[in-house]
Structure 1
């Protein structure tokens, strides 16, 4: 019966699936793959599920822990098939994948793992070997994603010194190869290499990274023009934690100071930042007396002291994608 369902009906069914189930559906056959892709592209009938949160593994264990927001439950997945000398970079949520990178001083080698199936594989080597670059992810649809690698230290020439690499490369999962897509200012390359974590945000054709050193600032790469631009961050000298997240087509910063308010700013068309939200006091008080980590995820932001103590999440609502809500998630006692 399932093989005979019309594509539009099958796409409507797939639009109800939670994120981890979409990649499995696309792997069944070509008919299912095309229908699942159509379901994710058609926003008129796409049912927006709350984002799943993945606690990536530390050096202490080989497990990742996944929170199901629909059932409000934690699940552990064994990553024993993942080599020990690599560390997680980010998730590729719509594909159910985790992106890893090699550790040490050697040129970066990226790998992907599906924690649900146990599959693990290395991506091809970069065109320009480099260490510690910024890594960005764009999820085109369930059958395709693109990785961007910017900056980093190039290998030292014979008898010379290493230098900052001022190019940007892109990996397309469809063609499975790297392409040099543009250059970048040397000062941006330095900051991506030294002061920028691997988290990135894609919004309206621009891939953004935020520096981790004070004052916070944001670097953006425009896909259509291959141009770089820079933004200041509100209260950039005062913030002690901050994260980027795309919200309803706009770029948003969530940040705060220990013991102070947690504020949400949205970037306006003229480049100005506008306050649109504050964390409710009853949730903010849970963080008093400890340092706070702030991590952007697809469709939301997570704030926590440690994973076992619980997480405050600001994410899109279940019934209205334009409205975002503050929620509390009980911690995972297995962390």
Structure 2
């Protein structure tokens, strides 16, 4: 029966499979492999399989990463020996990961697919920068390229650059943009020096794009949010609820909206959503029992990291410790909090605790034509 199914129907069935099941199916024969690749052409948002967490060590411990399969609640180790230098993840681009090299202080970006072992270094920026803020906007398949080529823009703001005249490094109050369709950078224009300084000194690389604005969280207490309006090139600053009391604060997307999660010392971790009026609205908090379990009696949220995509948010600390996941349940039509054990053993071999940086993505097993350019 299966061999007689039309190509498009079989591809649609494959689009409903989890990545590990799909990997086994595509190895059956050439026809199934072609159908499996075609299954990735489904529109973004139609996938009902939960995304995976992919975690890379924040310190040099060899070229590898760890991935959590939510279907069977199991951790896997993936070698990154095809990547030439140590890297750290910035953001997911569908099944790809935007990375930055850690072997150089000057920003150098790359993209890779750890599941298909594909890698590509992006061109160097027009202005060499150290420690700028990086923002990503994913715009779907390129209208002029193969459907498996994601179309995205990367914005780089601020950072330190060598001043003209050899007078040393200075803050770079300009913004650059990378367009994946043309594989080129261009300088968008100037930015306020105050924003350039704060984005350089106090901002991690994570960004969230929502309703035409790129947002970054500044990590200095009191916390605040920097925003760049794409259409008008206008910079703005947003206050943060309980800003002077939060031990950690992070931005994540949720249903195309901007969400802020922050924890108070010996207290709860709260969740707010930015409304259309520019005000933060409380939409929940981490359940007390999960919070106590996550903190392990320490009571401090200070070392907490947070990462997410539409449909899922993770709170974590290191690879071996338990993690809290806020996930949308498609069948029940609501968001639920869950517990995931950290990665302590893989195939019976112990994995020691160490700091990690994670991204959440839907694994893509189809080869990306973009990474072969």
For 2:181 and 2:339, the matched residues in 1 are separated by 38
The CA deviation at 1:19 is 7.1
Please report the TM-score for the alignment, with normalisation by the length of structure 2.
Answer: 0.77
Structure 2: segments with no counterpart, 5+ residues? 27-32, 141-147, 345-350, 353-373
Kindly provide the CA deviation profile for residues 142-171 of structure 1, in whole angstroms up to 9, marking residues without a partner as x.
522222111111222233232221222221
Which residue in 2 is equivalent to 1:233?
240
| Conservation of the 8 A alpha-carbon contact between 1:102 and 1:110 | no
| Residue 264 of structure 1, aligned match among 245, 264, 271 | 271
Which residue in 1 is equivalent to 2:119?
120
| Closer, same or farther: CA 3–108 of 1 in aligned 2, 3 Å | farther
Structure 1: segments with no counterpart, 5+ residues? none
The CA deviation at 1:210 is 0.3
The CA deviation at 1:13 is 3.9
Q: Does 1:95 align with 2:79?
A: no
Which residue in 2 is equivalent to 1:110?
109
Please report the TM-score for the alignment, with normalisation by the length of structure 1.
Answer: 0.86
Which residue in 2 is equivalent to 1:61?
62
Higher relative CO (Cα under 8 Å, sequence separation at least 6) belongs to 2
| Conservation of the 8 A alpha-carbon contact between 2:14 and 2:36 | no
| Closer, same or farther: CA 259–208 of 1 in aligned 2, 3 Å | same
For 1:124 and 1:30, the matched residues in 2 are separated by 33
Which residue in 2 is equivalent to 1:167?
174
| Closer, same or farther: CA 14–92 of 1 in aligned 2, 3 Å | farther
Total equivalences in the alignment: 321
| Conservation of the 8 A alpha-carbon contact between 1:250 and 1:266 | yes
CA RMSD of aligned residues (A): 2.8
Q: Does 1:311 align with 2:323?
A: yes
Which residue in 1 is equivalent to 2:231?
224
The CA deviation at 1:17 is 5.0
The CA deviation at 1:98 is 4.6
Which residue in 1 is equivalent to 2:43?
40
| Conservation of the 8 A alpha-carbon contact between 2:54 and 2:66 | yes
| Closer, same or farther: CA 277–183 of 1 in aligned 2, 3 Å | same
| Closer, same or farther: CA 30–312 of 1 in aligned 2, 3 Å | closer
| Residue 302 of structure 1, aligned match among 285, 293, 314 | 314
